Structure 1
Amino acid sequence: MRSQSTPGPFLRPVRVTITIPYNAYQALIERSNHQGRSLSNLAAYLIETSLQALQPNEHHQSRSEAMDGYQRHA
């Protein structure tokens, strides 16, 4: 049996749960309503296009750099 991380001819979508700032959530809701698409579809599209836009050397950023200023508070 093939693991989910092993590429195959037909990859199925994977469901994930993330935590985002409230203002980002509100912006996603407004944009998804304006475009007439689901929040899930819009979020997946934005993540995918952002990853495609990365330059090859940006794949090696540290985790803190990749978070684009989103800071966790203890």
Structure 2
Amino acid sequence: MRSHSEPGPFLRPVRVTITVPYNAYQALVERSNVQGRSLSNLAAYLLESALQTTHQRDHTQVRTESTDTFRRRG
């Protein structure tokens, strides 16, 4: 049996259950209706986008800190 952290030859979506505040749920429902997409699809998109943004920001911060350290040594 393969663990969740070890993808097989094909990456497939994984179903998860989360609890969100009611206001967040309402905002998701309204936005999904306006955009004409499912609540699940919108939530997955927003989560993936947030993770990519966070990863890019963290990566940029690490590069900036490394550059600052190099400049201080020089």
Normalised by the size of structure 2, how large is the TM-score? 0.69
The answer to which structure has the higher helix fraction is 2
Look up the match of 1:65: none
Secondary structure (helix, strand or coil) at the match of 1:15 reads coil
Q: Which residue of 2 is the match for residue 34 of structure 1?
A: 34
CA distance in 2, matches of 1:24, 1:2: 34
- Aligned pair 1:50/2:68, yes or no? no
CA offset at residue 56 of structure 1?
2.3
Give me the CA root mean square deviation: 1.4
Extract structure 1 runs of 4+ deviating beyond 4 A: none
Asked whether 1:2 is paired with 2:9, we answer: no
Q: Between the two proteins, what is the percent identity of the paired residues?
A: 77
Structure whose CA Rg is larger: 2
What's the TM-score once normalised by structure 1's chain length? 0.69
* Count of residues in correspondence between the two structures: 57
Segment drifting more, 17-26 vs 6-15: 6-15
> What is the deviation of 1:12?
1.0
